[in-house]
Copies of this chain bind each other. A is one copy, B any other.
C-alpha cells in the first residue's frame, strides 16, 4: 500500500487506459474516493461490476465535483465536450489532466474552458495494447513506460510535481515536452505506424489474386506483426488522425517519398541501395532493445525455444 496522493480522483472515460489507471489506484490505495464516469450506461455498469471505483455516474460534471484530480481518458475528439461539461464543477486547486495521444489539439479544445485556479496539465502516458474497453485494462500497464506532460507556460510547479508523483506511483517515468514537438514525435513513433498497419491490412484484405483465408493462413511470415496495431480502437484512431493532421501528413509524405525511392531501387535492381537501408534499420532495432524498449527474444517470444 502506497500513501494516499489525492482525496478524490475522478476518472472521465473508463476504457483500456481509464480502467488501467483505476485498477492501479485501487490496488495501490492512492485515493480515498474514485468516481468513475462514462457516457454509456452499459460501460458504466461493467465498470461497477469490475469494482473499479467507489462511485459511478454518467454525468462527467457530477464526477468532477469536489475532485482533487480529474483524469480525462476519452478519444481526443471528445475533449472539448468533456471540458465544457466539467468546467463549472471544478473546484479551485483541482488538477485536470488527460491521456490523449495528441496534445496541441487537446490543449486548444480544453484550455479555454478551464476556470481560474484550476491546474490544467495535459499528459500522455505512452502505454496501451490493441484491446479496448474496461475489461481490457490491467494494473501495471504503465510500469516502465513514459508519461509525457506538455505543460502550458503558466503551469504551477507544485501541481505538476504532484501529478508527476501520481504517474510515478503507477510505475511510469515522466518527461516534459513542448506540445507541438510531442505531436511530431508521436506522429512518427506511434501515429504513422498505426496508419501504415491499418493500410497494409486493408490492402491485403482487398486483394483478388490472394484470398483472405490465404492471408490469414500464412500470416506468420511477417504480416501478422502489423495486425496487432491494426486491431486498435477505431474511434480512438480516427480522432488521432483528425487531430494531429499536420504532423501526420508530413510524416506520411516522407514515408511515401522514401517508399518511392525503395520501389525504384527494386524495379531497377539496385541491390546496393537495398542493402544499405536494410543494414541501417537493423541497427535501430538493436538500439531499441538496448534501451530496454523491447524484449530481446526472437519473434517477440512467440516461439518456445527448444534447444
Contacts and interface: CB of A to CB of B under 8 A. Distances in A.
Interface of A: 23, 101, 126-131, 136, 138-141, 143, 145-146, 148, 181, 184-186, 188-207, 209-210, 212, 214-232, 234-235, 237-238, 241-242, 245, 248-249, 251-252, 254-256, 258-260, 262-263, 266-267, 269, 271, 274-275, 277-282, 284-288, 291, 293-295, 298-307
Question: Which of A128, A148, A209 is the most central at the interface, judged by chain B CB atoms within 10 Å of its CB?
Answer: A209
Nearest to A215: B189
Contact of A249 (B138, B241, B266, B291): B266
Contact of A140 (B200, B218, B225, B305): B305
Contacts of A101: 221
A282 B148 CA distance: 28
B294 A235 contact: no
Q: How many copies of this chain are found per oligomer?
A: 2
B188 A204 contact: yes
A145 to B, nearest CB: 6
B248 A252 contact: no
Contacts of A129: 298-299, 303
Contacts of A220: 126-127, 145-146, 293-294
Question: Which of A130, A136, A294 is the most central at the interface, judged by chain B CB atoms within 10 Å of its CB?
Answer: A294
Nearest to A271: B238
Contacts of A196: 196, 200, 226, 259
Question: Which of A143, A212, A281 is the most central at the interface, judged by chain B CB atoms within 10 Å of its CB?
Answer: A281
B228 A186 contact: no
Question: Which of A189, A190, A221, A259 is the most central at the interface, judged by chain B CB atoms within 10 Å of its CB?
Answer: A221
Contact of A271 (B194, B206, B217, B242): B242
Nearest to A259: B199
A219 to B, nearest CB: 5
Nearest to A307: B138
B204 A294 contact: no
A288 B216 CA distance: 5
A222 B242 contact: no
A273 to B, nearest CB: 9
A222 B203 contact: no
Contact of A301 (B230, B263, B286, B301): B301
A269 B241 CA distance: 8
A241 B269 CA distance: 8
Contacts of A286: 231
Contact of A279 (B148, B193, B234, B285): B234
B199 A258 contact: yes
B221 A298 contact: no
A221 B126 contact: yes
A210 B193 contact: no
Given A189-B218, A215-B284, A230-B282, 13 more contacts: A148-B218, A188-B203, A189-B215, A198-B278, A199-B277, A216-B287, A219-B288, A220-B294, A227-B288, A231-B281, A234-B279, A234-B282, A252-B263
